């Protein structure tokens, strides 16, 4: 049935506003606003069709925003909306013989409203495609003016809520929903990370991607976007059952691969980039150092080179008072403090800045337990031993961090100064002036890497002994079956009161039982040795083998006794032993380890 709604429409006039005219128009506005019957008619019409509903909402919104004081005299507002919905019979029915069902949602926005419309696309068993309107939803824009791209994003948000409602009612999966929008900016936002945008865009993008996947969003041209009808309005007479609003655009009935849509938009527009968060990056100006401590291995050399550079800078600034003398103690101390401040600034920059501002170091700091204090720009240990009878530097040592190049050079300096002493000794001397975090491990690491200390700690290689000879493993046998022979001496022997002569000891040892038999050899002659050998044989019996030195390996202090073996007539001895059935074996020359069994006894 036709519905007529009176709405105020402002008419401008150049005439002055009369008081009576203002009162008459204000009363007219209030009458129209309070006319519940007119508003109810508009709402009733809005329930019948979505376009008329949006148009009616816009009318109501203008009524509520009308300002009575701005109405001019002789002004009359009147808008007549004629709608006939008797011819628009909206029926939504789907055949039960469907093969697949898919929900396609369009969304759009204008300056007045945003809208979303959903179509059910069904493929029948015979291959026919049916598409029909399922549901549509519109919303007015906020009173505060927003940009069109933001309105398009609100339309995308509305599309997701509409699809969720339909899927819950029809039992569909949200993964089988296709979203189409004509805003490349909104789609680019949806494909981005919410945390990278301003709060307005970030909150809505987060809600959209929580209910949908960015891959479900596609771009469609504006002339193919059906939701544009809902945002701009259309007469109810144009909404016929065969209209595009009811049946959807024609491309929905074709194969999906032939749809005129784009998957991912191109590069972002300037409007999209304006919604990006501004990332503030802290920049720190790093002044390169003239010297690199890592390239030095001597602390004193680094300090002296730095002192010369500081003097050069001083002479450039004060040309009238140049210093050309040798380096003074004060200049060396200044150079040393320069590098210590640099090392502390590298590792404890936050603590130094906090203490310089009069605030204590943070509890989470690594040196918080040391109660650090800043004295003349140097970070020192605090503590409660100020009254101790110690040097001031020992009570408040300088704090250094382990692993720093300056710390390494200082430790090496003390290590060499103390003539490569042990770890504990070096560590205790360093503690008199410096407090190094994990100092014990730092000193130990320096000691391990010291070439001289490494050479001192090297263990000599030990030769692995070969298997014992058969004479040492004779099994069950009588003593002195295999005998080792060697000379010991000479020894000075007093004969009578005034005469002193030299005597040698002929040592016989059992190779198996290690028993020892000693005989005195009066001289180094062969006869004297044969007599000693006969006495041995008479007392211990004939051995099977006798082993002795070859004689060429005797050196040093035992030279005289070793020469006795050389002077022995080996042929006579061999004849004597052969007659008794004894075999005499000489060890190889220059191989004393063969005779270790008797050499250890000598």
* Residue 1 or 284, more confident: 284
What is the arithmetic mean of pLDDT over 1-23? 34
* Residue 536 or 12, more confident: 536
Lowest mean pLDDT among 42-46, 261-265, 412-416: 42-46
Lowest mean pLDDT among 77-81, 493-497, 540-544: 77-81
Report the alpha-carbon distance of residue 220 to residue 119 in Å, rounded: 15
The CA–CA distances, whole Å, from 144 to 233, 317, 484 equal 21, 64, 118
Report the alpha-carbon distance of residue 528 to residue 519 in Å, rounded: 11
Closest by Cα among 261, 87, 268 to 192: 268
Place 124 in a pLDDT band, splitting at 50, 70 and 90: confident
Residue 22 CB coordination number (10 Å): 17
pTM listed for this prediction: 0.40
Place 16 in a pLDDT band, splitting at 50, 70 and 90: very low
Return the pLDDT at 112. 86
What is the arithmetic mean of pLDDT over 299-316? 92
What is the arithmetic mean of pLDDT over 480-503? 85
Q: Which residues share a beta bridge with 583? A: 545
Closest by Cα among 75, 125, 136, 120 to 97: 125
What is the arithmetic mean of pLDDT over 425-451? 94
Q: Are 276 and 196 in contact (CB under 8 A)?
A: yes
The CA–CA distances, whole Å, from 38 to 7, 9, 494, 530 equal 9, 16, 154, 153
Report the alpha-carbon distance of residue 583 to residue 574 in Å, rounded: 8
Closest by Cα among 293, 318, 323 to 305: 293
């Amino acid at each position: 049935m036709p519905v007529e709604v009176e709405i105020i429409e402002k008419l401008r006039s150049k005439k002055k506003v009369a008081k009576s005219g203002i009162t008459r128009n204000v009363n007219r506005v209030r009458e129209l606003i309070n006319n519940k019957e007119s508003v109810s008619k508009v709402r009733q019409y809005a329930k019948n069709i979505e376009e008329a509903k949006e148009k009616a909402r816009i009318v109501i919104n203008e009524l509520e925003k009308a300002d009575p004081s701005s109405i001019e005299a002789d002004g009359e507002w009147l808008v007549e909306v004629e709608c006939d919905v008797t011819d628009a019979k909206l029926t939504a029915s789907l055949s039960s013989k469907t093969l697949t069902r898919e929900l396609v949602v369009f969304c759009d926005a204008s300056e007045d409203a945003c809208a979303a419309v959903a179509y059910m696309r069904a493929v029948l068993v015979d291959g026919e495609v049916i598409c029909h309107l399922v549901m549509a939803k519109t919303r007015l824009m906020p009173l505060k003016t927003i940009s069109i791209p933001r309105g398009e994003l609100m339309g995308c948000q509305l599309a997701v809520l509409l699809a969720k409602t339909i899927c819950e009612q029809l039992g569909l999966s949200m993964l089988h929903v296709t979203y189409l929008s004509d805003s490349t900016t909104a789609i680019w936002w949806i494909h981005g990370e919410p945390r990278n945008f301003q709060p307005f865009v970030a909150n809505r993008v987060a809600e959209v991607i929580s209910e949908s996947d960015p891959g479900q969003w596609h771009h469609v041209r504006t002339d193919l976007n059906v939701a544009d009808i809902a945002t701009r309005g259309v007469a109810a007479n144009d909404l016929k059952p065969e209209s595009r609003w009811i049946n959807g655009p024609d491309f929905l009935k074709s194969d999906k691969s032939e749809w005129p849509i784009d998957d991912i938009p191109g590069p972002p527009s300037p409007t999209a980039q304006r919604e990006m968060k501004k990332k503030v990056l802290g920049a720190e100006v790093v002044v390169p150092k003239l010297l690199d401590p890592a390239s030095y291995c001597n602390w004193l050399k680094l300090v002296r080179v730095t002192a010369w550079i500081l003097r050069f800078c001083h002479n450039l600034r004060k040309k009238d008072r140049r210093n050309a003398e040798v380096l003074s103690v004060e200049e060396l101390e200044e150079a040393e403090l320069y590098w210590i401040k640099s090392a502390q600034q590298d590792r404890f920059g936050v603590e130094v800045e906090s203490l310089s501002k009069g605030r204590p170091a943070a509890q989470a700091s690594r040196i918080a337990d040391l109660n650090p204090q800043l004295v003349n720009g140097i970070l020192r240990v605090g503590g409660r031993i100020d009254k101790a009878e110690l040097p001031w530097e020992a009570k408040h040592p300088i704090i250094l961090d382990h692993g720093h190049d300056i710390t390494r050079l200082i430790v090496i300096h003390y290590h060499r100064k103390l003539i490569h002493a042990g770890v504990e000794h070096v560590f205790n001397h360093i503690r008199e002036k410096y407090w190094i975090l994990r100092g014990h491990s730092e000193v130990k690491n320096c000691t391990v890497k010291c070439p001289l200390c490494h050479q001192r700690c090297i263990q000599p290689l030990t030769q692995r002994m070969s298997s014992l000879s058969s004479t040492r493993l004779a099994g069950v046998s009588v003593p002195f079956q295999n005998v080792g022979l060697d000379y010991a001496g000479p020894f000075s022997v007093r004969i009578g009161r005034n005469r002193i002569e030299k005597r040698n000891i002929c040592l016989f040892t059992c190779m198996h039982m290690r028993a020892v038999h000693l005989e005195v050899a009066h001289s180094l002659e062969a006869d004297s040795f044969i007599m000693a050998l006969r006495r041995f044989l008479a007392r211990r019996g004939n051995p099977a083998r006798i082993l002795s030195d070859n004689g060429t390996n005797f050196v040093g202090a035992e030279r005289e006794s070793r020469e006795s073996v050389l002077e022995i007539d080996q042929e006579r001895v061999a004849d004597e032993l052969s007659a008794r059935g004894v075999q005499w074996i000489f060890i190889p020359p220059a191989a004393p380890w063969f005779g270790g069994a008797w050499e250890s006894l000598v």
